[in-house]
Each structure stands twice: as structure tokens, then as C-alpha cells.
A and B are shown apart, each in its own frame.
Chain A
Amino acid sequence: MSQQTYRLAVGGHIDRTRPLSFDFNGKRYGGYVGDTLASALLANGVHLVGRSYKYHRPRGVLSAGSEEPNALVQHGTGGATDPNFRATQVELYDELVAASQNCWPSVSFDLGAVNSLFSRVLPAGFYYKTFMWPKAFWKYYEYVIRRAAGLGRAPDAPDPAYYDNMHVHCEVLVVGGGVTGLAAALSAARADARVILADEQCEFGGGLLGAGEQIDGMSTDEWVAQAVAELASMKQVTLLPRSTVIGYFDHNFLTIAERIQDHLGPMGTPDKARQRLWKVRAKQVVLATGAHERPMVFKNNDRPGIMLASAAQTYVNRFAVKPGNNVVFFTNNDSAYGAALTLAEAGIKVAAVLDVRAQPTGRLATKVRDRGIEILGRHAIAAAMGKKRVSAVEVMMLNESADRLIGTARKIACDLVCMSAGWSPAVHLFSQSRGKLKYDANRSCFVPGDSVQAERSAGAANGTFSLAACIVEGHEAGLAAATDAGYNKNASVPKAPVRQEIEEAPVDPLWLVPAKAGEHTNKHFVDFQNDVTAADVVLAAREGYRSVEHLKRYTTMGMGTDQGKTSNVNALAIFGQVLGSDIPDVGTTTFRPPYTPVTFGVLVGRDVGELADPVRRTPMHQWHESKGAKFEDVGQWRRPWYYPLPGESMQDAVNRECLATRKAIGILDASTLGKIDIRGPHAAEFLDRIYTNGWKKLAIGRCRYGVMCGEDGMVFDDGVTARLGENHYWMTTTTGNAARVLAWLEEWLQTEWPELKVYCNSMTEHWATASVAGPLARKLVAKLTSDIDFDPDNFPFMSCREGAVAGIPARVFRISFTGELSFEINVRSSCGRALWNTLMTVGEQYGITPFGTEAMHVLRAEKGFIIAGQETDGTVTPIDLGLEPMVSKRKDFIGKRSLSRPDTQREDRKQLVGLLPVDAREVLPEGSQIVEKVDDKPPVPMIGHVTSSYYSAYLERSIALALIKRGRSRHGETVQVPLEDKVVPAKISAPQFYDPEGVRING
């Protein structure tokens, strides 16, 4: 195992008593609990971590946080591997395995790097300009391009982890647990508001963790510990470390992705979720998300060993790692001087500090100077040397206006370059909340403008960079948020902490280090991950892509996994320079969720596998299962499709089920049908308006079939409705439409006809329904019933009775969907299974046979009964279906007016017919199209299609229902049905094939 030669002897937040070992690119290394993969690699002197997307340039660690564009790794193995993990965010655990990605055969020797040789022919958008000839070759070009696509690899097996979701409400959500966020949370919580504090890092403290300053005479570590302890002691506070607020949506709805077990690796507990998504509805939000340091844009600024100044400081202070031995700083603001001091104190040689500003005057700069470190005013790095690790920098003077390098170049050897081009507040969530940014020219950054939602930004996220001011602003924001949420209006903000404020000199932006005379900016990287250079930005502007959004899409700037956190502002500033526009006029691209990428798994939570979507079960479901039924999905219901006996094919089973029903008794679980109880003095009037036919004259105890349309006149649902009392009806609907029909009725009642006194209640779930059909059905039910008179005259077709069936109170309807004598027996759901059992046991002597939806479909098709959604598709009127007699002329009903529009009156509309293949053994596939004659050349005019088609065992032939243009006037004609391999002639007929006179209905 390699030694951690770059580990400092003391300090840091790592736990030296808990050493860990891990594997990177097949090599073993050591680290400690508290390390990230990045800090551990740096501790081992590993700077080359990955390769860039397009040119495969060697890349190292740029940052210490979630803004990292370069150090992306493939983490883990097998089904639990993760592509594109940022090494700077991966917490080290024992036996962690990671590898560089997008390189082959290895990160050190990567063949893809040949692209780099061609980089000059591959500027932004090159692919739009080539690969067009010869035309047929594009697919080969694309094949090659695709092989080069992507960064890491997807897992090749299902995810072993599970995920969780959690809804939560709070008065104040504080995003970011740096000093600002901690202060805000304290103030809000002290006012008794329910507070959630979320931070994406494993510890609270934010920038303070790397800073090493003093607050109120305490070390920053002590200050943080005290704040966290107080928050933890308050029960109205929820602390969420390792939790990234990823999205800020409408009406203060925010999502937080918590990484519960990622840092434990495979050692996590299987009973706990890997990650959890918090769905927060916050009354108020405080955004204390800090700021991102910007890189400098100079030649070869992407070499491993070149990093952000604050990151280097964090590696020293928080991780006790020396990122190098000999460092050159390059800055345009004072914050880098703090880092320089930290590094110097850690024993790292600071070779020089280059400052864009002529005379750095801040107190920190003075301190650095006092240590005898060379500060070079108005200097810049002209280029970095070294390939897989920076080895030196070439330093030159900037002219007065900083648009030219002048003087002679001086070479300074180094193994680390720390850069700081100023800070960009993390305004992502503010922007997602729809807030508009404003540009602050003094601080050279975009800051939040006016709030649109109940939200406020504070601290570095608000462009406030001094520690003392951050604390004050945090407290104020927290208290104001609590107050606005209705909590403790007279609490006060603690007085400003005592801390010697460090005067800072203003930042002087230098967006692009000019190329040396005769050179170009095509190695000046702006977007590291997508290899976008300053030259690409210039090219986009030259070619007319003058909107920042065009710039983004043409160059792919900001479209990588980091979404340009460190690069966007640099890019648009350079773009502005080329176009001669001010930065605020150039504007930013749109900030979109998520703040950092988030697993699909956590978005979905536990709604996977058997919980992906409910499966609705009837009270008899288990019986069907135990009999080996095959099921079909109908909406969320799972209904028995057919019940194969051992050795039976589907067709065998369906034939048997159909014949049994026609000849003896079949039994169907009809519990899924919608049942709606309709009551009130205006119930009949209401039904008159809903259905196409009339309802007022229906006698009590009788049933009627009805069809309902949408206002467009198209059939929407159908079913039988019974009149149970003077003001009491019982409507049935199709299985799939049960909820929609109830909602439809309520909508009309509540919104359009509030004067109608009607109440509708769903009874679907209260009742279980067994439908027994067949010539022997009466025998069976009569046998099980003593208090209903089954005599056909006393219990005629289309009527209903109440009584006890098999000892269970029941509502029995004599209606029929099969054409046979049939009774629908409804009992309370809890008794459904008992009823079914009894019917099966007692029915055995009559040959009772359970049948599924397939047999039901055959039986009703033999009768020409339609199924809404099969014979109809939203373009079919009741008249098309031949139901004209049911369409009232006397009253209005929903959709009536639509039936007299020119197109619904057209003579050649498609109408429902029967279709009999000339070859009686030929079962037409449903969905077949029907033509007059088959031409050899398309398009072939189609006159209709097959809606239902089966083999009818009873009729010993195939039958079908179809919608055919002018069909009703064409009975007897022959049409053609072209199939894949042949054309089947079929004869149009009336859509009733079985018992057209309806005798069988009486048994």
C-alpha cells in the first residue's frame, strides 16, 4: 500500500485512529475516516484522476466540493456501480473501489487522447459541419461517434439498494449549513419555528471547515460544534447532513436528496434506505448556499495540480493534506491570500503570488508579504507546463488594460497552482424559485435580486463574503423568516460576533488571460468537463450564435455533470467581451433542477417492483389465484382472463368456458364493475341529462341499459341502471371507467346543475358481484334462495330483487351480458368469497364453470354487445353503433347537439357490423384493417377495422365485430382483410350472431 506522503502530521477533521484502505485504478491506497476520495488521493500524491470528455486531456482535482468538473470516477462494482461520481464528494469507506473513466487502456495512457492531436479540427460544433457525405455513410460515422459518447458506465444488473421518500412541512427551511445557515437556523428555531437545516456535506460548517479563523474568541470548529449542539437539542429542528436541496419548485415546494448510507459503502444496513428524498413544503426558505470560487482562464489551466485556492485551503485545514510542495498562487482578489497563509503555515513553499491587481493592499496580502512571500502585481500565468501534473508556470506582465501579455516570460517551477478569479454566489436555488439575478459590478458577480417566493438569501449566497457579516445576515434572515411564518415576533438577533474584521481590497475581474502574441486561446479552458475553450466561445460569437443560450448549446458549455458551476460566469463574461456587451446584458443561462445530479432511484423511492402501482383485488381474487387463473390487467384491476385446466391451451379453456355457459352455467367475478348509488328527488331528471335515453318512466324494480356521451357526442360509457325506489337509482359502469363516471356525474351536479337535488355515492367496493349465466342459472340461484320468487313472470328480465342468497343478504339483478339467462348477485364484499364458494359447491351438480374476461368477450360478441373502449375509441357515436332507438329525440342530453354536426351526420360514417370470415376457421386479428380490394401499391384506401374477433366454439366458426363505412347498408357484401401474409375475405353481417331474437335470455 502506498504511503500517505502528503498527509500533514496534525490537524484536520479526519479520524487518524480509523485508517482505511481503498482501491483506485487497481492500486491500493490508505486514508482515514473523514477523508473524501479526492483528499485521500491527494494525500497519496495522486493528482491525475480522470480524462476529459472530448480531448481526453489528463485531469486532476479542481475543487473540494460539489462543483467539481474534473475528478469524476466510476465508483463501486456490479449492480451497485455508480458512474460519474465526483471524487470530491465521495466519502471514503473501507475497501472502497473506484476507477477513472472515459479512458482506455488506462488513465495514464489513454488512446482517446489522440483526439487532442486533432483538437484544431474539432472546434465547437464541428459535427454540424461534416459527416454529411456520402449520405449513406452517416450511420458509420454515428457508430464511431457513439462509441466515444458518455463518461462512466451504467450498472449491468438491477440496483441492490432501496430508496425512500418523505413528505415534511416546516416553517423555515434553511439551505446550507455554513456559518450563515447555522446562524439562520438558530434564530428561527429559537423563535420556535419548525426548522429544517440541510447541507450537502457530511458535517455542518460549510466554508468554515476549511477556514481556520476565530469567532467570538472561539475557534471556528468550536463555534460550529456549539451551534450544532444547540440545534440538535431543540425538538422542532430537523438536521439533515449529507442532504442536497436539489429543486426549488412552485409554492415553496423543495426537494432534498439525503444520502443516508452512501458513505458506508456495501457495509450499510439493508434495512435502511440508501438515499431518501425529502419533499418539503416550507412556509419560508433561507438560502445560505455559499459561493463558488472561479478558476482563472489561462493556457493549460486544466492540468492536474491546478486547483481553486479555497480548495487547497480546505485540503490543508479540513483534511490535513498537502496538495503540493511548491505552490504558485494566481488571483484577482484577497481571498486567495488567506489560502496562501494557510498553505505557508502548513509548510508548503509558496513560490509566488501573482495578482491581476497592480497593488494588492488588503490586510491578508500585507500579511503574506510580511512572511516574505513574493507578490507579483499585474502578473498572470501565461501558460502552465507539464502534462499529467503541472511542473512550472510561465509568468508574464499584463498591460494596463489587461488585454495583452507584455514583457518577458519568467518560468517558475511548482507542483501546485492555486487560482482564484473571484466568487460566484450559489444562486441556483434562488433562480429556480424564479428570482431574477442582478449583476454586482463591485463584487463582479451575480447576486439575487428581488424574491418571488417566500424566500431570502443570506451570506455568501447573497454576495456577502465577510464572516462577521455572514453571521449577522444569517441571524437576521432566520428571524425574519420565522416572523413571516408567524412565529415569535419579538425575538431578537444576537449582537454581531466579535471578530477582527479583515479589510479586503476589491476584486478586479480578469475573465481571460490573453494569449501570448501569435498564440490562440484554444488551450484556455473555460468549461473543463466538456473541453470548451475560450477560442470556442469566440468562435460561437463569430458564427452568429450571439445569444448566451446559443453559446451554451453550440459549445456545450455548462452542459456537463457540473452544469458549469465554476465555468458559466467566466464563459459569459468572455462572450460579452467578444460581443462588446456588458455582462448583465449577456445574461446567464437558465438554472434548472437538480442542483447536483440525483439518482433516479431516490426520485422514485419505494414505488418500485410490486409497489410500483397498486394491483386492485376483488374479494374473490385469492380463489382465482388458487385455481391457476391467468390474469389480465384492466386499469389497476387484475381480472381473471381464463382458467386453464392442466394441459389446456388458452383457446381450449375459452372454448370450454363459453360452451359451459351456453349449455349449463358459467360464473364470472363481476365485482370490478362500477356501481353508483344515485338518490334524490331529481335523480330521474339527472339521468335523463346524462344518458341518451329516457329514465323517468322506468318502473321501480326494473333495469334499463344506457349509453352516455361526452359533449362531443362520442360514446363514453355504458351500463345497466336500475330503479330501486322512487328517488333511488343504481348505476353500473364499465370496470375501467368507474371512477371517471362518478367524477363526471359529480362535475355536472356541482358545476352546472347545482339546482338538482341528487347525491351520488360509489358503492363499487362495498359490493362483490358474482354473475351466473346459462340455461341452468335459475335452478342454481333458486336452490340457494328462499325469499325471492324466481318465476320468470315475477322476476322478469331487466329487473331486480332483494333477498338472501346462500344465507347472505343480496341484491340480485336479472340482466345479461352473455345472452343467456343470467343473474348478477351482489353481496357485501366481506361475503363475496363465501357466496362464490357456495355457488361453486352447489353449482357443481349443474356443471358450473368459472369463466374469465376472454370468454365473457366472446359471449357478448356473439350477441353483438359492445364494449366501451373496444368498439369505441372516442370517435364513435351511439348512432354509429346502431343504438339510434336509444337516442332520445324528445329531450336534451349531454352530447346531443354534437350528433347533428355535418361530420356526425355524414352518410359514410363507420358503423358497427358483424364480420364473418369466409373461411370459418380463420380468426381475424383484432385491429385488422378492412379494404374494398387490395391494390399492389400503397396507400390502400381503408374502409374500416376489426374491433373484436374470436373463435366461437358454440357457433363453430370465427366471428368478428367491425366498424365499416356505411356498414349498416352493406350486410351481405364481401370485403377484404389484408394480413401480414395473406388476404382474408369476409362477409358483412348484422352484429348479432347468436340468438338474435333474444329467447335464450329466459333460460
Chain B
Amino acid sequence: MAKDYLRQSALAHLHLAALGVDDPDGAGVVLCERPFRGQLSLRGNSADHEFVEGVQGVLGVGAPLDPNTVNVAGNITVLWLGPNEWLIVTPDGQETELVERISDALAGQHFAVSDVSDSRAIIGLTGIHARDVLMKGCSLDLHPRAFNAGSCAQSSLARCHVLLHQINEIPTYDIYVHRSFSDYAWRWLEDAAREYGFAIINQSAIDVVTQRSTRKESPVSA
């Protein structure tokens, strides 16, 4: 792992840290970059017990087998991407070791695990109008009747491909977007959020804020 000072997040050039606040009082939409997480691409045959158990053994949680769902155990999150494809998200710095542990556990099987931590930037989005902002560019049915905390889906947001993960019922989302598109995605989100009033939050504060908020239905997405 390279030293921290050698690393730059996907949106570093926007200097979000300098613009971020801790308390986005009154903003209908709150955005932040969630830089630096370990991300692994895992491929394997979900119909094969050995594979499924091998993964479970290493992660302490199984790779979700239901489409568009997420399994979480401790600080590991596993998102379903396809019937033989998952994204494993870990705290920063654990990815290399995890690749090795999975490779060891599955040795001899047909599988693929690769470190893709820097493939996707992650944008955190929350606030009572968070869903409305997404609806402006995403054709998924994100209404609580169809999409909830614990749901994930790949789709497009405006003109880029995204992986959406709904974290809680505020709702708060993690938006995974390919790194080279992240500048566009961020600008698009800011523009789409403008009518609701938006704030950039410090990434350290977003979890605090989202825990504090109570659930409110926004008018349009009802």
C-alpha cells in the first residue's frame, strides 16, 4: 500500500474538504465524497457450494444470492452485481490482504477476485430530497415500496453507469460511479440538487447526520 500522502481521491480536484460543513442545516440534499474504501470484484459460480461456503468462510457473511441485495457483516459489505459477480467493500487498506485470503480459500476453484478499489468513486447522498435528486436521472423505481435500505442496483444516472446502494431510510445512498465519470456525476448531482438547497458535508460528519435525521417522506417521491 502506498503512503497516504501519495494518494488522491477521485474528486480531490474539487477541493470538497474545504467546502464541506459538519451540519448541513436546512439543506434538502446533502452530498459528500466517500473516498478510499477497499473494493474487490468477486466472480464465481453461485450454484457451487464450495464457492459459496468458501466465500462465507473468509468474509463471515455470504455473497448475496438474491439479485440487487446487499449483505453486511461488521465492516464488510457485499453487493450483488450479477448472478456470478459481486462487489466486496472493506475498510481502506484491507483489500490486499482480503484478496489473498479469498484466493487461498478458493484455491483450485474457478473464480476470480481482483482489487478494483480505485475503479469507482463513491458519492454519499442524503437528505429529504435525496431520492428526488436521483429520480431526475435514474429510471429505477426508488420508492420505499420497491427499493429500501439494503437494496442495491446497477443502472444509469444521467449519462453514466452507477451502482446504487441504499444505506438507510432517510434515505441515504452510496453512489458508486466509475472514477473517470465522477467529476461529471458530481456536477450533475449538484445541478440536480440545486432547487432543494444542498450542502456539501464533511465525510466524517455524514454518518452522524444521517443517524440523527428522522425519516421524512419527500413530496414528489411519494
Contact = CB atoms under 8 A, between A and B. Distances in A.
Given A607-B158, A834-B2, A761 B112 contact: yes
Contacts of B84: 759
A536 B36 CA distance: 73
A764 B119 CA distance: 7
A677 B114 contact: yes
27 contacts: A164-B195, A166-B135, A167-B139, A168-B221, A169-B141, A235-B222, A238-B222, A271-B194, A272-B195, A611-B188, A615-B183, A679-B112, A757-B110, A759-B43, A761-B112, A765-B116, A765-B180, A766-B119, A806-B6, A808-B6, A828-B118, A829-B10, A831-B2, A832-B8, A834-B2, A834-B6, A834-B7
Contacts of A637: 180
Interface string B4-27: 011111100100000000000000
Nearest to B192: A606
A807 B180 contact: no
A252 to B, nearest CB: 13
A763 B114 contact: yes
Nearest to A164: B136
Contact of A281 (B112, B141, B160): B141
A486 B119 CA distance: 41
A617 interface: yes
A237 B143 CA distance: 13
A443 to B, nearest CB: 38
Instruction: Give the interface SS of chain B, mostly helix, strand, loop or mixed.
Output: loop
Contact of A614 (B43, B115, B184, B191): B184
Interface string A674-693: 00010111000000000000
Contacts of A194: 143, 145, 222
Given A607-B159, A765-B178, A829-B119, 4 more contacts: A168-B220, A238-B219, A827-B2, A830-B7
A184 interface: no
Contacts of A701: none
Contacts of A829: 10, 118-119, 179
Interface residues of A, number: 56
Interface string A741-762: 0000000000000000101011
Interface residues of B, number: 56
A301 B10 CA distance: 67
Interface string A266-287: 0000011100000101000000
Given A763-B116, A807-B6, A829-B10, A614 B220 contact: no
Nearest to B111: A759
Given A271-B194, A611-B191, A830 B9 contact: yes
A325 interface: no
A279 B156 CA distance: 15
Contact of B112 (A237, A614, A677, A827): A677
A761 B136 contact: no
A271 B195 contact: yes
Interface string A841-877: 0000000000000000000000000000000000000
A272 B28 CA distance: 14
B13 A622 contact: yes
B48 to A, nearest CB: 12
Chain A CB within 10 A, most for which of B9, B110, B111: B110
A162 to B, nearest CB: 8
Contact of A167 (B41, B138, B160, B195): B138
A681 B221 CA distance: 48
A763 B119 contact: yes
A771 interface: no
B118 A765 contact: yes
A235 B217 CA distance: 8
Interface in A753-785: 757, 759, 761-767
A235 B222 CA distance: 6
Interface in A901-940: none
A809 interface: yes
A166 B195 CA distance: 13
B73 interface: no
| 10 A-B pairs with least C-beta separation | A614-B184, A829-B118, A616-B180, A834-B6, A169-B141, A759-B112, A759-B43, A765-B119, A679-B112, A766-B119
Given A235-B222, A765-B120, A614 B159 contact: yes
B49 interface: no
A764 B178 CA distance: 10
A680 B84 CA distance: 14
Given A613-B159, A807-B6, A830 B36 contact: yes
Interface string B125-149: 0000000100111111101011000
A830 B8 contact: yes
Nearest to A253: B139
Contacts of B220: 166, 168, 238
B187 A610 contact: yes
A618 B115 CA distance: 19
A101 to B, nearest CB: 33
Q: Which of B6, B13, B117, B219 has the most CB of A within 10 A?
A: B6
A728 to B, nearest CB: 9
Contact of B118 (A164, A167, A605, A830): A830
Interface of B: 1-3, 5-10, 13, 36, 41, 43, 84, 110-112, 114-120, 132, 135-141, 143, 145-146, 158-160, 178-181, 183-185, 187-188, 191-192, 194-195, 217, 219-222
A724 to B, nearest CB: 11
Contacts of B185: 614
Nearest to B185: A614
Contact of B114 (A236, A610, A761, A765): A761
Nearest to A610: B187
B118 A166 contact: no
Interface in A258-311: 271-273, 279, 281
A834 B183 CA distance: 19
Nearest to B14: A622
Nearest to B145: A194
Contacts of B139: 167, 279, 281
Contacts of A679: 43, 112
A272 B137 CA distance: 17
Given A238-B220, A763-B116, A765-B179, A614 B6 contact: no
B180 A237 contact: no
B43 to A, nearest CB: 4
Interface string A587-624: 00000000000000000011100110111111101100
A429 B5 CA distance: 60
Residue of A610, A764, A767, A831 with most partner-chain B CB within 10 A: A831
A165 interface: yes
Contacts of A605: 136
Nearest to A681: B110
Nearest to B196: A271
Contacts of B115: 766
Contact of A168 (B135, B158, B187, B188): B135
A173 B10 CA distance: 41
A834 B187 contact: no
Given A613-B159, A614-B160, A761 B43 contact: yes
| Most interface-central of A165, A167, A618, A757 (chain B CB within 10 A) | A167
A591 B178 CA distance: 42
Contacts of B111: 759
Q: Which of B118, B145, B158, B188 has the most CB of A within 10 A?
A: B118
A759 B137 CA distance: 31
Interface in A687-744: none
Contacts of A238: 219-220, 222
B184 A766 contact: no
A828 B2 contact: yes
Contacts of B41: 761
Interface string A635-656: 0010000000000000000000
B180 to A, nearest CB: 4
Given A761-B112, A765-B119, A615 B184 contact: yes
A318 interface: no
B133 to A, nearest CB: 10
